[in-house]
Amino acid sequence: MSDTMKQIVLASRPKGAPTPENFRLEELPLPTPGEGEVLVRVHYMSLDPYMRGRMDDAKSYAACIPVDGKMEGGSVGEIIASNAEGFAVGEFVMGGFGWATHAVSGTQGLAKIDPDTTPITYALGALGMPGLTGWYGLTELGKPKKGETLVVAAATGPVGSMVGQIAKAKGLRTVGIAGGPEKCKLAVEHFGFDVCLDHRAYDTAADLRAALEKECPDGVDIYFENVAGKVLDAVLPLMNAHGRIPICGMIAWYNEGGVGADAIEKTLTAPKLWRTILVNFLSVNGFIIANHFDRMPDFHKEIGPLISDGSIRVQEDITEELENAPKAFIDLLSGGNTGKAMVKVI
Ligand code: NDP
């Protein structure tokens, strides 16, 4: 066993889209677990859009990563040393180990994973935080009803694909939006969307809206908000009365100085937005899934068997080596991933 480990830290705060210079790889002595702690050898590390927000020193629902601090994130790995009761060497766990090959962790927030039932990577995607996000946001806030029409962008990602597949199973018309013809094909053929539009093929929100209008002849009842930007501008006027908009993410704006007022001003004006919500009696609910992790067992109970029998499909995008994490993350923010982005660390 090597006596060193590697980690990636935030070298500087990005201005706009992150660049490789914003990250730094460090080598450290392998830490030793204290009383009540375990040492984990990370196998797979998750890359998620929310990490972009943590790189900015802006007021948010979570504290930012300090400059020179380890990049945060969820990972799955194997316990290689343990001083914690109930956690044995050789067991697999998921936790917030950050961008690193190894981590010492207390047992709070550690979840055991059985590698014999499902691939351990699923704990980071389809059966983990992103899958839960799609399930919770759609069922609790979207309140889907048979015969309705749903629109979701980032349709082949772990959140969007979960949303689309559950909505389809509940009898909705599902309209995906994704970047490029390959992803649109995947959305329809692999994830079962009724149709998928390529947002890159439309220069303006008005053009995208015209195409969406054709695919949503009865209007839109649920817009599951994953991206905002041009897509939001296109969909909003198509919302039906009593429509629902679970606000999950707004990745189109993450690189524009956070999601501050300046970025939002570029597209929708507040009066237009507010009026649309009022005159259509829309329910617009922002949510952060970390406040609903207590629903994980319900989610696993309902969706676990559907993943096991193949009725809900999974797509993963795995990058090799910790060193390549910054590039994979930068790519994720502009649609370079196809499926749940993660890094194989071991
Ligand atoms: P994905 O794996 O789908 O990756 C993000 C995708 O966003 C890209 O692949 C790209 O897909 C799309 N995208 C990027 N920029 C734009 C743009 N300008 N316009 C349209 N699409 C764009 O991500 P996740 O499934 O993990 O997350 C989806 C959203 O959900 C994110 O906004 C994320 O922040 C949010 N989220 C929120 C949570 C919460 O608690 N509220 C929890 C988890 C995720 P494409 O190439 O198809 O356009």
Q: Is residue 156 part of a domain?
A: yes
Distance between Cα 49 and ligand 1 center (Å): 6
DSSP for 82-101, written as a single string: E-STT--TT-EEEE---SBS
> What is residue 321's predicted lDDT score, i.e. its pLDDT?
98
Q: How confident is the model at residue 251 (pLDDT cuts 50, 70, 90)?
A: very high
Q: Is residue 237 part of a domain?
A: yes
The CATH number of whichever domain residue 78 belongs to comes to 3.90.180.10
Q: Which residues are 42's β-sheet partners? A: 77
Contacts of 225 (CB under 8 A, 6+ apart): 232, 245, 246, 247, 248, 249, 250
- The boundaries of the domain holding residue 181 are 129-290
> What is residue 270's predicted lDDT score, i.e. its pLDDT?
77
> What is residue 111's predicted lDDT score, i.e. its pLDDT?
95
Which among 220, 343, 320 is positioned nearest to 280, based on CA atoms? 220
Q: Is residue 65 part of a domain?
A: yes
**From residue 265, how far is each of 23, 107, 233, 283 by CA, in Å?**
30, 44, 12, 22
Distance between Cα 149 and ligand 1 center (Å): 20
- 74 and 163 share one domain: no
Distance between Cα 333 and ligand 1 center (Å): 8
Which among 280, 287, 339 is positioned nearest to 313, based on CA atoms? 339
Residues 298-345 have pLDDT tens digits of 999 999 999 999 999 999 999 999 999 999 999 999 999 999 999 999
Which among 140, 346, 111 is positioned nearest to 246, based on CA atoms? 140
The CATH number of whichever domain residue 281 belongs to comes to 3.40.50.720
SS3 327: helix
Q: Is residue 28 part of a domain?
A: yes
Q: How confident is the model at residue 261 (pLDDT cuts 50, 70, 90)?
A: very low
Q: How confident is the model at residue 275 (pLDDT cuts 50, 70, 90)?
A: confident
Distance between Cα 321 and ligand 1 center (Å): 23
Q: Is residue 256 part of a domain?
A: yes
What would the two tokens of residue 239 be?
A: 């919302």
Give the other-Cβ count within 10 Å of 211's Cβ.
Answer: 17
The finding on whether 252 has its CB within 6 A of some atom of ligand 1 is yes
- 17 and 35 share one domain: yes
Q: Is residue 185 part of a domain?
A: yes
- 222 and 103 share one domain: no
Overall number of domains in the chain: 2
- 11 and 108 share one domain: yes
Mean local confidence (pLDDT), 270-283: 84
**Closest residue CA from atom 38 of ligand 1:** 248
φ, ψ (nearest 5 deg) of residue 241: -55, 140
- 86 and 99 share one domain: yes
Distance between Cα 28 and ligand 1 center (Å): 33
Report which ligand 1 atom has the smallest distance to the Cα of 133: 42
> What is residue 288's predicted lDDT score, i.e. its pLDDT?
95
- 240 and 151 share one domain: yes
Distance CA 330, CA 315 (A): 19
- Residue 32 pLDDT greater than 60, yes or no: yes
Count CA atoms closer than 13 A to 235's CA, side-chain side: 26
The finding on whether 163 has its CB within 6 A of some atom of ligand 1 is no
Distance between Cα 226 and ligand 1 center (Å): 6
Residues 59-93 have pLDDT tens digits of 788 999 999 999 999 999 999 999 999 999 999 99
Q: Which residues are 25's β-sheet partners? A: 8
The finding on whether 246 has its CB within 6 A of some atom of ligand 1 is no
Distance between Cα 106 and ligand 1 center (Å): 31
Q: How confident is the model at residue 272 (pLDDT cuts 50, 70, 90)?
A: confident
- Residue 256 pLDDT greater than 80, yes or no: no
Dihedral sign (CA 71, 77, 81, 84): positive
Q: Is residue 172 part of a domain?
A: yes
> What is residue 260's predicted lDDT score, i.e. its pLDDT?
47
SS3 63: coil
- 251 and 169 share one domain: yes
The finding on whether 76 has its CB within 6 A of some atom of ligand 1 is no
What would the two tokens of residue 277 be?
A: 């919500």
Q: Are strands 149-153 and 173-178 parallel, antiparallel or unpaired?
A: parallel
Q: Is residue 43 part of a domain?
A: yes
- Residue 55 pLDDT greater than 90, yes or no: yes
Residues 325, 319 contacting (CB under 8 angstroms): yes
Report which ligand 1 atom has the smallest distance to the Cα of 48: 26
User: Widest CA span of the chain, in angstroms?
Assistant: 64
**Closest residue CA from atom 27 of ligand 1:** 159
Mean local confidence (pLDDT), 199-204: 96
The finding on whether 154 has its CB within 6 A of some atom of ligand 1 is yes
> What is residue 274's predicted lDDT score, i.e. its pLDDT?
80
- 70 and 21 share one domain: yes
The finding on whether 178 has its CB within 6 A of some atom of ligand 1 is yes
